[in-house]
A and B are shown apart, each in its own frame.
Chain A
Amino acid sequence: MSEIAADSLLRPRPSGLTPFVMASVVGHVLVVAVWLALSWVLRGPAISLDQQPIKASLVRLGKPRDEKLLPRKEEEPAPPVKTPEPVAAPVKAPAVDTAVKIPSKDAKPDKDSKKNAPDAKKSLFDAMNKAGRAGKVEETEGAADGDVNGDSARQEGERYYGLLKSVVQRNYDVSDTIPEAERRTLKAEVALWIGQAGELLEVKLSKPSGNALFDEAVVGAVKKASPFAPPPPNLREVLKKSGVAIVFRAAG
């Protein structure tokens, strides 16, 4: 019986690895302790979550341009010279205005025209743009016992109005046909109401500028920018019931 026990694989045997395992454990503990001590001693400045982002402008390396030299354009070289479009083949006109036929619903544009149409690409970009705009904003809910005018809610609101301004500004295209002298004084106000999902409920020109083209452009800018991102909870009621006003000025 004792011989059997002596030959058993379960019998404890002295191991030569024990000192090495112990040394490894002690070594790791020392490395962690030193790392903690060093990171405490060499710690960097505390990170403030209130810190505003730092904007940096990259400036090209080189010597500044001699002020006595004539300026050079920053943008790309002048586009290739345009040549007038070839004149299309004559088209038989209807005899009188009233005789003009309304194109039938079945009428289809020719395939080549459709293929070459820039609207396909434009639609794709528009769709991507809108998809991006419709992306859900991060919702920061307030505390159950928080103040209605609590700081975090206000920041969320400011962020949303900033977002609104930026998407409308991107679509704020106005025709060059408006004379320069008039541009300096043009100002219009648009009121808009936004639903919970960011959809444009209503838009109206609350204070016209007096220039129809400009007025159409500012209303168009709001329409093109919609749908917007869904408003944060604290703004939902306000944007739905009271709306928001946007004052547009033509001049920069």
Chain B
Amino acid sequence: MTRPVTLLALLVPSFVLAQQNVIEISGANFRPMPIAVAIPAVQDDAARKTLNEFDSALMFDFSACGLFQVLDRKSYLAPPTEGVVASAIGFGKWSDVGAESLVKTQISSDGETLHGDLRLFNVAAGREDLKVSEAVPMKDARRLAHKLANAVYKHFTKETGPFETRITWSRKSPTGRDVWLADWDGHNAVKVTNGDVNVIPALVPGGGVAFTSYRQRKPWLYVGKPGSDPVLLIGKAAMVTGAAFSPDGKKVAVSISEGENAEIFTANAADGSNLTKVTDTKFFLNTSPSWSPDGKRIAFVSNRAGNPQIYVMTAEGANVKRLTFQGTYNTTPAWSPRGDLIAFTARDERNAFDLFTINVETGKIARLTQDASNNEEPAFSPNGRLILFTSTRSGARHLHVMTFDGNNQVTLSIEKGDYSTPDWGP
């Protein structure tokens, strides 16, 4: 009996001592991943002609998406002629400049088609994590870059990247305002309208753009595509504005004004039929509808409380709930495709227009822009990570993009002009 007890007495302390102490650490410092994007390698003269377009699109995608901190190429220690396979890469040199990931691309042409290869390396491990090849017609060098960048985005986030999505805007023209359709970076822009005043465009889920046009003297809702005449979708009352399509593309919500009153209506998106009034306030304005991602609710602006505030209701107009109680001029709500946030424009006590988000559940407001002139008209990217908006920070109203929390504000590198009411779609 004594022996087992003695053994136990000897074992227990050693067992206790062998136990590892445990330290708990929570709350990581999330920050954009430092990434090096090497100058693309070019294999022939035909591909060389597309290099600038390809490279600028690739750099913009990585720089503007907010996930990466693209390291300045001037700091790169590796020679520009360094190879694109792991065995040819001096990873120490990339590690020395702070890169955690390295992107190497090369483009080549067979005369009609432009081929692109992208390799993504984990610098610390000296390992190739991703290899992707794409091919496009020669004229689509930017699209090739977007496709390759999307593959990297998906590799990290498991989500579809925003680089092949489309945006639309209204821009001042000599005869009024025109609606344009472009890639997410503002390039490859084509006119949807040609003349008259065309404003507040919204991307139609199945293709095309809906917008309010004065082409028949009255501001009614049309749907158009580049190269074809717009078709009237809703022509009723004095003014039809602020079209917003439900996520399934079956319904369109608009604001229809008559006299000093404006109400929200919904209709069939295909032909404008089944027009149904969903707000009814008689003497107030109800404008700027925006659908929740599940299509069950609509956010909108109403001045029923004396000044413009953001409200939420069901798609049928029930359970109207005021969302904003701070500020006296809150407009242009845009419901995030993730569902949790609504971005909006607000005028603050200094009379500056800035962008904010409000958490739909908690009502907590976060400021996204500040002390950078006027910033208005937010539109979420289809994945909800980015916001496109207009700003007068560099003079005329221009288009900018930032992350949903207001970081990484980047100007679209497109021609200067008076841009307004952008929208973003798949």
Q: Which residues of A contact B (CB under 8 A)?
A: 67-73, 77-79, 81-85, 87-88, 90-95, 97-98, 100-103, 107, 109, 112-114, 116-119, 122, 161, 164-165, 168-169, 172-179, 183, 191, 213, 216-217, 220, 238, 241-252
Report Cα–Cα, A114/B40, bound state, in Å: 21
Contact bitstring B88-125, A, C-beta under 8 A = 1, else 0: 10100100111010000010000000000000001011
Specify the chain B residue showing the minimal Cβ separation from A217: B28
21 contacts between A and B (CB under 8 A): A70-B326, A72-B348, A81-B410, A81-B411, A82-B410, A83-B413, A85-B63, A85-B72, A90-B42, A92-B81, A93-B43, A97-B85, A101-B88, A118-B75, A175-B67, A183-B30, A242-B19, A243-B20, A244-B22, A250-B26, A252-B27
CB distance from B32 to the nearest CB of A (A): 5
Given contacts A92-B42, A102-B90, A242-B19, 18 further A-B contacts (CB under 8 A): A70-B349, A71-B326, A71-B365, A81-B393, A83-B411, A85-B70, A88-B55, A92-B41, A93-B40, A93-B41, A93-B106, A94-B41, A113-B75, A119-B98, A172-B28, A176-B30, A245-B23, A246-B22
With a cutoff of 8 Å between Cβ atoms, the chain A residues found around residue B327 in the complex are 68-70
CB distance from A235 to the nearest CB of B (A): 9
CB distance from A193 to the nearest CB of B (A): 10
CB distance from A184 to the nearest CB of B (A): 11
Specify the chain B residue showing the minimal Cβ separation from A252: B27
Shortest Cβ-Cβ A-B pairs, 9 listed: A100-B83, A93-B41, A252-B27, A177-B156, A249-B26, A174-B28, A77-B371, A175-B33, A100-B88
Contact bitstring B118-150, A, C-beta under 8 A = 1, else 0: 000010110000000000000000000000000
With a cutoff of 8 Å between Cβ atoms, the chain B residues found around residue A250 in the complex are 26, 28
Interface contact B83-A114, CB-CB below 8 Å? no
Whether B59 is near chain A, meaning CB under 8 Å from some CB there, is yes
Report Cα–Cα, A217/B30, bound state, in Å: 11
Whether B277 is near chain A, meaning CB under 8 Å from some CB there, is no
Interface contact B29-A172, CB-CB below 8 Å? yes
Known contacts: A113-B75, A117-B75. The answer to whether A84 contacts B63 by CB under 8 A is yes
Contact bitstring B323-337, A, C-beta under 8 A = 1, else 0: 001110000000000
With a cutoff of 8 Å between Cβ atoms, the chain A residues found around residue B51 in the complex are 87, 90
With a cutoff of 8 Å between Cβ atoms, the chain A residues found around residue B349 in the complex are 69-70
CB distance from B370 to the nearest CB of A (A): 5
Report Cα–Cα, A91/B394, bound state, in Å: 34
Q: Which chain B residues in 372-426 approach chain A with CB under 8 Å?
A: 372, 393-394, 400, 406, 408-411, 413
Interface contact B25-A88, CB-CB below 8 Å? no
Known contacts: A100-B84, A244-B22. The answer to whether A95 contacts B413 by CB under 8 A is no
How many A-B pairs fall under 8 Å by CB?
232
Whether B273 is near chain A, meaning CB under 8 Å from some CB there, is no
Report Cα–Cα, A120/B79, bound state, in Å: 18
Whether B217 is near chain A, meaning CB under 8 Å from some CB there, is no
Q: Which chain B residues in 44-88 approach chain A with CB under 8 Å?
A: 48, 51-52, 55-56, 59-60, 63-64, 66-68, 70, 72-85, 87-88
Interface contact A77-B370, CB-CB below 8 Å? yes
Report Cα–Cα, A206/B48, bound state, in Å: 49
CB distance from B40 to the nearest CB of A (A): 8
Report Cα–Cα, A208/B55, bound state, in Å: 37
With a cutoff of 8 Å between Cβ atoms, the chain A residues found around residue B43 in the complex are 93, 95
Report Cα–Cα, A101/B78, bound state, in Å: 13
Specify the chain A residue showing the minimal Cβ separation from B403: A176
